Structure formats: structure tokens, C-alpha cells
Amino acid sequence: MEERKRHDSDRVVLKVENLRIHYATPQGDVIAVSDISFNLYEGETLGLVGESGCGKSTTAYGILQLVQPPGYIVHGSIEVDGTEVLNLEEEALRKFRWTGLSLIPQGAMNSLNPTMRVKDQIIDVIESHEGKQNDKEALRERIFELFQNVGLPNRIYNMYPHELSGGMKQRVCIAMGVALHPTVVIADEATSALDVVVQRIVAQTLVKVKDEIGVSLIVIGHDMGLLAQIVDRIAVMYAGKMVEIAPVENVYANPLHPYTQLLIDSIPSIKERKPLKITEGITHDPRNPPSGCIFRLRCPFAWEHCAEFEPPPITVEDKHEVACHLFDQQFEERRTNALATLANP
Amino acid sequence: MGSFSLNYLLRRLLVFFLTVWVAATLIFIIPRLAPGDPIQAMIARMTQFEGYVENADLIIEAWRKRFGLDDPLYVQYFRFIGNTLRLDLGYSMANFPATVYELVGRALPWTIGLVGIATFIFFTVGNLCGALLAWYRTPKWLKVLIPMSMTFTSVPPALFSLLLVYIFGFLIRVNNNPLFPQVGAYARGMAPEFTLEFFGSVLYHGFLPAMSIVLVTFGFWALGMRGMMVTIEGEDYMILAQAKGLKPFYVLYRYMIRNAILPQMTALAVSIGTLINGSVLVEIMFVYNGMGSLIYSGIANQDFGLIQGTSFILIVTSALAVLIIDLTYPLIDPRISLEGR
């Protein structure tokens, strides 16, 4: 794979602060996203990872204002280029959608309307935001250009979704997602349902288009290997909390949070067969999270302090934050011991 | 849209004729399972009116011969099938010498008008209400339609006819005249002709019978549509439609109704026959001289010819409706193609 372009802009395009999302159930609210904050910089690709149910998709849908009932946003702030999304009225929000924030769903699934031609589903988004397009020829050219960007042949213009392959549908979703040159694009498991070859090609297309158009991208996924190749920074979520956010090289070469370490360790390797160190599932009740650190029940290094205090995000270096007491200056000794255990298990 | 395959068309036509044949055989057998025959029934009726019928045995014998009722069953059957193939539905035995065609020809336009208008109303209103009931922007008070339509659906149409006759015929009166007429298909003393006045009279007279059909059927379509809409609301493409910031009304008709209506179209074609049968009692209630009244009189008089004839028309209509919806389905659902079937 070609050398990845670095994105070092310091301009924040998306600022999420204290975002909290609950799902109402008869037995009480399930805390899906618990007070997370992060920044997305201009031109950056941010990967959002974590196990199933950790709240990564809910975070994305929260940012997009698409949380479906019984889910609801408890509090928080989502600013896109200075616009507070949560304060937008219905019509203003409708107009903001797709121009401010767009979504690339899992297109191989059922994300396209089965009774509409591909072109009509792209035209409808253009016309609902830019008004009726009278120059049909120009509109066609514009869609052909989008097709070309994502490597789709022009012949699918008049086709229906069921006539396309999974990879093609995914490309249509990418073309649609960037049609209005939004500020931020969120790709939710955009490649998960595809086979590995198509997955890789589609992921590369995604990054290529993103660079050409100059948008910022959040990629949600669980394939750490694939993400490593396309993102600039990775945010690791655990049980609704963001435990670490770091430049991608740091996460793989030097993971800090104990959960990130376990996660990196669980990436399969062809050189050795290793046992899975992390157990599946969240071990606490998501309605009643444990006191202090959310991960302490599964953390190999937890001590009394972790049960008492919730770890704040600690900035260890530029654009790298970790929410773990081990990286608090006052526990340096503990950290050294822990790292030593890790080196010689 | 898929292109047309001749092979599929031929096979589909074969199924159509097979359906009609099996059904025609059934309508030949079933009336003959009952004791007695139309001639005896007719003489019995004549006896009722006139007290005594001279030479009744001779009349019966002559008529049985005339209608071939003495022939072995299989001969009667092949004659029936042969005649049907030539589209000759024979005579009505009770109304001899009127042919079944004449009687059906007189009755059919009225039923087509009544059931057609009722179908148009309940299908559009029912589906629209069903769609709105599932839509998030619909005002909450409209939800009263859900229990209301459930109740209406479980009431027989004839009972509704009674209720409507009572309300609009006796309860609400304008200048001591009923608000809507309760008898006939057009005003007494008028002759069927193509004038605006006559047409208005037909609509005016058809209002109550059509309403009784609409009120009982509308709920079925509304609830079915609502169910489909709720399913569609959970589809992935609905989330994308919301994310795209499309206008709410556009999403409602282009993304939701457009997809939810597909099974409703099939259901409509299948229910055409049931609809006409369902209108039998309504037509009798309103002395409406359509197919319903004709079927009723055929059964009441054990009029084999008439029963066979009217049932045959109904069967052909239903089978034709299903055939048409099958062949045109690719036009409304792009996923269905007739190619290579």
C-alpha cells in the first residue's frame, strides 16, 4: 500500500463534548455512551473501535442526530465547524444534514431504497439540498463524476440496487456520502459485510475520495488490521467510555491503556497461535456501571484507587489521551511494574 | 423492469385456464349435491302462488327434457363445459327464456360501479390512513382510527347497511325526507341513459351501499398498510433517508408508501372475488339490482344455469385480476422480473 498522507491540521472540525446517550428500558436506562469528549481535526481520518455493544455506533448516530428510540441523548455538545448540532430546529437540522455531516452506512446490506434507481437516490439528496436541478445534462455529468471517483461504471446509472454487487452498493453509498462535499463523513462499519479483497479495495476508495474532496472522516469498525492501514488516529471505546485516543502508530506500537493492550494483543497473527487474553462481553450491568474506572473488573492492574476515582483523560503527548490512573504522574512506580509484568508475563 | 418472456406468459395463461376449469367443474358439481332441482323448485313456487298447478308432472317432465336434466351427469357436464368454452352460459331456468348473459349483462354494470367505487375509496383512504397511522409526524389524535377500524372490520357489511339505513333513512331527515335513498340504484321513474342527471342519481343512490362496503373493508386495508409501514420504518434505508436530510413528505411517499403498497396491490387482486360476494347482502339490503342480488336469486331458486353463470363470471374476474397483477408486477416492483421464469 502506498505511503499514507499525514494529516497534521490543528483546526478542529468536529468537537464532541460530554456526550451521553441512554437507551430507555423498563428496568432502567442503559448507558450506551457515557460522557465522551473528543476532537476531529480537518482532513483527519479517525478510527473508532471497540467490541460489539461498546457504544461506537451509538456515538456515531448520536453525532448524526439519528439515535432511534428508545435511545435518547441525555446531554452533551456536538459542534461541527462552530455549529451546535443539538440546538438545530427541525428544518435547520434537515438542511444541515448531509452538508455538515453525512453517513456511509453498511451499503451491502439494505441501505438503498429497493424501488428507486441508483441515480434517483443520488439526485434526491442533491435536489433536497440544492433545489430542483433544471440542467439535467449537468446533473448527469456530476453523478458520472461521483461514480468515477469511487470507481463505478456509468452503466449502473439507471440500475436498481438489487442489480448491483455488495461492493458496488458500498461504492454507491460512498459516492452518495460525498456528493454534497460535507464537512465530516461518518462511515459506520462500511466494509464489514464485504469479503476481504473487496473490503480492502473499498476502504482504499474511501480514503482516496476523502483525500480528493478534503473532508474529515470517522471510520467505525472492529477490524483493527484494516483500520491500521487507513486511519490517522484511533479512538478505543469500552462500555460507553473512550479509554484511549492516539495516533495510529502509537496504538499499535505502544498501546497504553490496559484495554487497548489486550485489544492489540487479540489481533490474530499468522506467526504464532496465541490464546485470546480478553474475555467476551461486558461483565458489568450496563444500567449500573461499577464505581470508579469502568474497566477495573477486567483490568489485570486494577487496585483500590481504581474503584474510588474515575480516571480522567490524561494527555500523554500531542493528540494522544488515555483514561487510566496508571498514567497519572503520582502512580509512576505502579506503571513501571505493570509494564514490566507485561514484558515478562 | 425486466423484459417479457413469452414462455412465462404462456405458462401463466395455462395456469389461468386451469384455474377457471377446476372452478367451473366445482360450480357444476356443488349445486347438484343439494336435493331437488330447479324445475321442482319452480313448480313449488307456482303452487305457492296459484294453489294448484294443472298437469304439474307433465310440465316437470317437459322442462327436465328441455334442460337436459334427465341425461346422465357426465353428458350434462360435457355439455356445460362445451357451452362454457363457446362462452354460452345458457338459460336461466327460473327466468326462462331469459339467458344468463342477459341477466348478467343487466346486473354486472351496477356491481362494477358499486364495488368499483367502493374499492377505489377504501383502497386509497384505507392505505392513506394506514400510512399516516405509522408516520411519526401524524398528530396523535388520528390514532383513534386504530381501535375504530378494528371494530368496523369485525362487523358484517349487512349489519352496517342496517345501521346506515337507520341513520340516514330515519334518524336524519331533511324536510321530512331521508337524507339518502335506501332503495334502488337510481331514482324511480328514470330510465338508464347517459345524462348528467342520471349519473348524479346513480351516485346519490349508490352512496349508502358503497359506504357500508367501505366502512367494513377500510379497516382491513388501513391495519395491513400500517403493519407494512412499521416494518419499512425499521429498514436500513429509512435511517439513510433521514440522514440524507430529505423532505419528510418525500420520504413518506417515495421511501415508505412506495415500498409498503406492494403487498397491498397483490392482496387487492386476490380479494376482488370476495368483494363481490361480500356485496351480495348489501345489494339485497338496498334492493340494488346487481350481481349480488342475481346470485342470491339464483341460489334461492336452485337455478343451476344462473348459479353456474354468475359464479363463472366471478371466477373469471378473480382469475383475471390475479393474472393482470402477476403480469404487471414488474412495473411496480423492479425486483420482480418476468425474464427467464
Q: What value does the mean pLDDT take over residues A224-237?
A: 89
pLDDT of residue A279: 61
What does the pLDDT look like over A184-205, one tens digit per residue? Answer: 999 998 887 778 888 888 888 8
The residue among B288, B284, B292 whose CA lies nearest residue B313 is: B292
Residue A241 CB neighbours (<10 A): 24
pLDDT band at A328 (very low <50, low <70, confident <90, very high): confident
Residue A274 has pLDDT above 70, yes or no: no
ipTM of the complex: 0.88
CA distance A205 to A221: 16
What are the b/e assignments for A281-319, b being 16+ CB within 10 Å? ebeeebeebeebbbbbebbebbeebbeeeebebbeeeeb
CA A255 to chain centre: 19
Q: What value does the mean pLDDT take over residues A51-57?
A: 87
Dig out the grid coordinates for A211 from the structure: 483525500
The residue of chain A with its CA nearest to that of B247 is A128
pLDDT of residue A261: 86
**Domain segments of chain A as ranges:** 261-343
Comparing A67 with A5, the larger pLDDT belongs to A67
Residue A102 has pLDDT above 90, yes or no: yes
The reply to whether CATH 3.40.720 applies to domain B113-297 is: no
Q: In sequence order, which residues have a C-beta less than 8 Å from that of residue B18 and are 6 or more positions away?
A: none
Q: What is the largest CA-CA distance in chain A?
A: 70
CA distance B259 to chain A (A): 7
CB-CB neighbors (< 8 A) of A92 in chain B: none
The proportion of chain A whose per-residue pLDDT surpasses 70, expressed as a percent, equals 93
Residue A64 to residue B243, Cβ atoms within 8 A: yes
pLDDT band at A65 (very low <50, low <70, confident <90, very high): very high
Of the partner residues A97, A106, A173, the one whose CB lies closest to the CB of residue B245: A97
> Kind of pairing, strands A28-41 and B177-178?
unpaired
Q: What value does the mean pLDDT take over residues A330-336?
A: 84
- Residues forming a β-bridge with A217: A45, A185
pLDDT band at A24 (very low <50, low <70, confident <90, very high): very high
pLDDT of residue B38: 66
pLDDT of residue B1: 39
CA distance A232 to A48: 11
CA distance B221 to B227: 10
* Alpha helices (runs of H) in chain A, residue ranges in sequence order: 56-63, 90-96, 118-130, 136-150, 166-177, 196-213, 224-230, 248-253, 258-265, 304-308, 332-343
What does the pLDDT look like over A138-158, one tens digit per residue? Answer: 999 999 999 999 999 999 999
Q: What are the strands, taking DSSP E only, across chain B?
A: 173-174, 177-178
Of the partner residues B239, B246, B333, the one whose CB lies closest to the CB of residue A115: B333
Residue A125 to residue B235, Cβ atoms within 8 A: no
Of the partner residues A96, A109, A114, the one whose CB lies closest to the CB of residue B259: A114
Dig out the grid coordinates for A305 from the structure: 484507587
User: Is the link from the previous residue into A70 a cis peptide, with omega within 30 of 0?
Assistant: yes
On whether the CB atoms of residues B238 and B256 are closer than 8 A, the answer is yes
- What is the pTM for the complete model shown? 0.82
Residue B245 to residue A124, Cβ atoms within 8 A: no
pLDDT of residue A345: 52
CA distance B39 to B56: 10
pLDDT band at A280 (very low <50, low <70, confident <90, very high): low
pLDDT of residue A290: 86
Backbone angles phi, psi at B196, to 5 degrees: -65, -40
* Alpha helices (runs of H) in B99-195, residue ranges in sequence order: 100-133, 145-153, 157-164
Give pLDDT tens digits along chain B (341 positions).
345 677 888 888 999 999 999 988 888 888 777 776 667 777 777 777 766 767 777 777 777 777 777 778 888 888 888 888 887 777 777 777 778 888 888 888 888 888 888 899 999 999 999 999 988 888 888 888 888 888 888 888 778 888 888 888 788 877 777 777 777 777 776 777 777 888 788 888 888 888 888 888 888 899 999 999 999 998 999 999 999 999 999 999 999 999 999 999 889 888 887 787 778 888 888 888 888 888 888 888 877 778 888 888 888 888 888 888 888 888 888 888 766 54
Q: List A residues 247-276 in contact with B (Cβ-Cβ < 8 A).
A: none
**Domain segments of chain B as ranges:** 1-94+301-341, 113-297
Mutate to test the interface with A, among B239, B240, B255, B329 (most CBs of A within 10 A): B240
